[in-house]
Chain A
Amino acid sequence: MMQLIGSFSMGLILSLLALGVLISFRILSFRDLTVDGSITLGGTVAATLLVAGWNPWLATAAAFAAGALAGTTTGVLATKFQINGLLAGILVMTALYSVNLRVMGKSNLPLMKEKTVVTLAQSLSSPDAKWSIGRWEIPLQDLCVVGMVSVVIAVVASTMYAFFRTNLGLAMRATGDNEQMIRALGVEVGWMTTFGLALSNGLVALAGGLLVQYQGYADVQMGIGMVVWGFASVIIGESLVGSRQIGLLLIGAVMGSVLFRLLVAIALKWGLNPNDLKMVTALFVFAALVLPNVLESFRRRIRPVH
């Protein structure tokens, strides 16, 4: 049960990553690989500022801002300098590796006695208060953390929902849907893409900032493969809600992230070697991307010819 709560919290935190990837991957149709770097950036910035004694919420907000800056860089490379989007993301991700080392001054930074948003949430309850359902006893502090993260997600997701119904948000969605059209309607596509990538990577870095506070350390390697996690969550989310409607997509991304994390926990429990985890994730995304097409062509082939 403890493990379940842990996976659940982790899935919730990473749903911010999924929401970020949703913006680049689905709304803008931009395959943004900055993510691996920007989630780490969020983590290193938050951890460093916390160690420096910043207010935890301010440090978390700074993580968002740092990620937004990284996304802006990718956007400028892709739109102003006309570099292929995949390559722009890879360039920024690679550069961020050095940035992250510079920010922390070393490759790993533990958070020991620092006040974090997680300890703030835990302090709402006494350390040994328990909540028992059936034969399980759940520490109330863990529930406080889940509650805190849920509130953050609810605020972020509903802000996004509102944003994508404003004139600006509508224009961003149209940018990914039909660039020619939205340009003819007076939107500067390059700027809009850059803005979207800034939001996207801001959210990803926010996930990184919360993640280090939850796990108690930042590490320059923590972002490896995260973009694929994001894709997986978004894809699972889409199949859960079965719709491209914006509100449902947001809910789907959160559910997808949590479900994926739980599936991974179960798989590990059943004896999946943790070293194989990234391979399995990659295979999963591969299958999710390819299977629909394969099924479609298969269906077409077996359809009787008249």
Chain B
Amino acid sequence: MLEIEQIAKTFHAGTPNEVRALQGVDLKIENGSFVIVIGTNGSGKSTLLNAVAGSFLVDTGRLRLKGQEITRWPEHRRAKYIGRVFQNPFSGTAPSMTIAENLALAAKRGRRRGLGWALSSSSRSDLNERVRAMGLGLENRLDNAIGSLSGGQRQSLTLLMAGLIMPDLLLLDEHTAALDPKSADQVIRLTDEIVRRDKLTTMMVTHSMQQAAHLGDRLIMMVRGKVMYDFQGAEKKRLTPQDLLDRFEDIRRSDKLDETVASMLERQYV
């Protein structure tokens, strides 16, 4: 279980560029639940995932994973429990290393890395099997550099790598946003398959209302660094893409309202 308690993060605090990216987020995510995260641009979705993964330490609040307090843990220490796929297909793999080598790296996520051979013949055939199961035909190219693959292939591999040793938490940050529609579909299918098969606790940020409505068993919507809506169970099941679009429209309208109120106050008092 992941417990997020009142976390806040401000970038460039005390400067004119100050951004209050997270303003007190509270979430309890049960084991095995698949949480979709949506929200307008800059609402703090990536920041939330980064805070959980430990890309930076939060200013206030606490994070607990599997009952352990991880708030002050550096990213590499949390990696033992967390698998990640980034938005940019280039971020998740080492381009000049081979597919097999990248997988071997992922097979040691968060573990001690010693002087044992990274690729023995038995681990190779095991990896071969895992790659074949993805059905992309990459099992014949295990010794090709990752840099020679397409974005979709890379993202599929990153997904496989994130789940290679079962993570206690899988973080996916718009991992299909940079792909063409066909590859995006493929990666989403793979995601659904892996998450269901291993019952992975997952947080997935997406910009696609289709994905948001059809995947996952819980959906949160972020607005200006806060969780605005949280749909679970039957309520989440009923959501359609149109419902979600309507919510966005509501937010847009209330944002406008806020702006006009602010400018009215400004006119009166400044």
Binding site for B on A (CB under 8 A): 163, 165-171, 173-174, 177-178, 180-189, 244
Do B76 and A189 touch across chains, with their CB atoms under 8 A apart? yes
Q: Which 3 A-B pairs have the closest CB atoms?
A: A186-B79, A186-B110, A177-B94
> Considering residues A163, A170, A171, A187, which has the most beta carbons from chain B within 10 angstroms of its beta carbon?
A170
**What's the minimum C-beta distance from A298 to chain B, rounded to whole angstroms?**
24
Do B117 and A166 touch across chains, with their CB atoms under 8 A apart? yes
**What's the minimum C-beta distance from A271 to chain B, rounded to whole angstroms?**
41
Do B76 and A186 touch across chains, with their CB atoms under 8 A apart? yes
Do B75 and A177 touch across chains, with their CB atoms under 8 A apart? no
The answer to the question of B95 belonging to the interface, with a C-beta cut-off of 8 Å to chain A, is yes
Do B79 and A171 touch across chains, with their CB atoms under 8 A apart? no
The answer to the question of B97 belonging to the interface, with a C-beta cut-off of 8 Å to chain A, is yes
Do A166 and B114 touch across chains, with their CB atoms under 8 A apart? yes
**What's the minimum C-beta distance from B38 to chain A, rounded to whole angstroms?**
23
Do B93 and A178 touch across chains, with their CB atoms under 8 A apart? yes
Among A165, A174, A180, which residue has its beta carbon within 8 angstroms of that of B105?
A: A174
Do A177 and B74 touch across chains, with their CB atoms under 8 A apart? no
**What's the minimum C-beta distance from A49 to chain B, rounded to whole angstroms?**
29
A177 neighbours in B (Cβ, 8 Å): 94-97
Given contacts A173-B97, A178-B93, A184-B84, contact A167 B76 (CB under 8 A): no
Among B74, B94, B119, which residue has its beta carbon within 8 angstroms of that of A174?
A: B94
In the complex, 5 of the A-B residue pairs with CB atoms within 8 angstroms, ordered by the A residue number, are: A166-B118, A170-B97, A170-B105, A185-B109, A187-B113
Given contacts A173-B94, A180-B86, contact A188 B114 (CB under 8 A): no
**What's the minimum C-beta distance from A193 to chain B, rounded to whole angstroms?**
13
Among B53, B95, B102, B116, which residue has its beta carbon within 8 angstroms of that of A184?
A: B53
B82 neighbours in A (Cβ, 8 Å): 184
Given contacts A182-B105, A184-B53, contact A174 B114 (CB under 8 A): no
How would you classify the secondary structure of chain A's contact residues: helix, strand, loop or mixed? helix
B84 neighbours in A (Cβ, 8 Å): 184
Distance of A158 Cα from B120 Cα, bound (Å): 18
Distance of A188 Cα from B79 Cα, bound (Å): 10
The answer to the question of B130 belonging to the interface, with a C-beta cut-off of 8 Å to chain A, is no
Given contacts A166-B115, A168-B114, A186-B76, contact A181 B94 (CB under 8 A): yes
A174 neighbours in B (Cβ, 8 Å): 94, 97, 102, 105
B91 neighbours in A (Cβ, 8 Å): 178, 180-181
**What's the minimum C-beta distance from A247 to chain B, rounded to whole angstroms?**
13
Q: Which residue of A lies closest to B74 (CB)?
A: A188
Given contacts A177-B95, A178-B91, contact A185 B119 (CB under 8 A): no
The answer to the question of B48 belonging to the interface, with a C-beta cut-off of 8 Å to chain A, is no
A166 neighbours in B (Cβ, 8 Å): 113-118
Do A167 and B104 touch across chains, with their CB atoms under 8 A apart? yes
Distance of A18 Cα from B94 Cα, bound (Å): 24
Do B105 and A171 touch across chains, with their CB atoms under 8 A apart? yes
**What's the minimum C-beta distance from A305 to chain B, rounded to whole angstroms?**
26
Distance of A166 Cα from B95 Cα, bound (Å): 18
Distance of A168 Cα from B101 Cα, bound (Å): 12
Restricting to B111-151, which residues have a CB under 8 Å from any CB of A?
111, 113-119, 145
Restricting to B216-239, which residues have a CB under 8 Å from any CB of A?
none
Distance of A167 Cα from B120 Cα, bound (Å): 11
**What's the minimum C-beta distance from A30 to chain B, rounded to whole angstroms?**
15
B66 neighbours in A (Cβ, 8 Å): none
Restricting to B76-95, which residues have a CB under 8 Å from any CB of A?
76-77, 79-80, 82, 84, 86, 90-95
Do B79 and A183 touch across chains, with their CB atoms under 8 A apart? yes
